[in-house]
Amino acid sequence: MKATVLGGAAASLLTISAFAADLGVRPAPLQPVIPPFTWTSCYAGVHAGGGWGKKELTDTIGIFNSITSYSSVSDDVSGYMLGGQIGCNYQFAPTWVAGIEGAASGGNISKTVTIPIPIVPDTASFRSTTDFLASVTGRIGYAWDRWMLYGKGGVALVGDRYHTDDVNGLFFFDASENRIGWTAGAGVEWAFTPEWSVKLEYDYYGFGTRSLLFIDSTGITGVNAPVNIHQTIQLVTLGVNFHARSGPDW
């Protein structure tokens, strides 16, 4: 009896399967498993922003002091920077990302200050310009899905130009330098597609104090002036990165 019932059930199932096959009914396909987003990638991008800083200059032998009665000048500079960056990230844990980045930018962070000359009715002007910044930094980030907060720090390079003269043409000093220092910063980055991200970043640059020779191209003073310059720069930038990925689409 049991054998008869089981045989009938099996026959019914075979009949239903055959009928479904004839009608073209197929089982639902398995849905692909989408891997979680990862920040592991190498990238390149551009950035733009504004900067400000302070240049503190001290005349070490009194050349400026004898002309203007000022032995030091404080110059609060400001301006813009445009540039690019390239780097790589590695997400080594569900929420932690490590990386390295190189960046360079050019622009104009500057200011001109005027100084009265009491010896004669005259006015001196002093201009400080930062037109280049570069850095190589390590990064560590905390990620949640497509958002990441990160900090960075490393070595920096700055390019500066200085000029001072007066209305009556008594002197005409120029100087320029490239100086190595350090930088530290922080930012937030959002990957709005698997390949593209946007970031907002703050960076602080410290370049310490260094002596720089100001050369008098007129020869009127007959002396070149070594000047101690202490400088710091701060920068806020908005950037976009393109991430080169290998493997499946995320």
CATH (domain of 215): 2.40.160.20
Ordered per-residue pLDDT tens for the chain, 250 residues: 444 433 444 444 445 444 444 545 565 566 666 778 999 999 999 999 999 999 988 876 666 665 555 567 778 999 999 999 999 999 998 999 999 999 999 999 999 888 777 666 777 788 899 999 999 999 999 999 999 999 999 999 999 999 888 777 777 888 999 999 999 999 999 999 999 999 999 999 999 999 998 888 776 666 777 889 999 999 999 999 999 976 544 4
Q: Residue 10: what pLDDT? A: 45
Q: Residue 57: what pLDDT? A: 84
pTM of this prediction exceeds 0.85:
no
Token duo for residue 22:
């004839």
- Please report, rounded to a whole number, the percentage of residues in the chain having pLDDT higher than 70: 76
Q: Residue 151: what pLDDT? A: 98
* Residue 21 falls inside a structural domain: no
- Separation CA 117–CA 96 (nearest Å): 58
Q: What does DSSP assign to residue 146? A: T
* Residue 250 falls inside a structural domain: no
* Residue 26 falls inside a structural domain: no
* Residue 107 falls inside a structural domain: yes
* Residue 24 falls inside a structural domain: no
CA distances from 178 to 103, 108, 126, 160 (A): 16, 15, 19, 6
* Residue 14 falls inside a structural domain: no
In one-letter notation, the amino acid at residue 120 is V
Torsion angle of alpha carbons 161, 165, 169, 174, nearest 10°? -30
* Residue 143 falls inside a structural domain: yes
Q: Domain count of the chain?
A: 1
Q: How many CB atoms lie within 10 A of CB 84?
A: 14
Q: Residue 204: what pLDDT? A: 98
Alpha carbon 69 to its chain's center: 40
- Which DSSP helix (H) or strand (E) runs through 24? none
Q: Residue 173: what pLDDT? A: 85
* Residue 113 falls inside a structural domain: yes
- Separation CA 247–CA 250 (nearest Å): 9
Its domain, for residue 102, covers 37-244
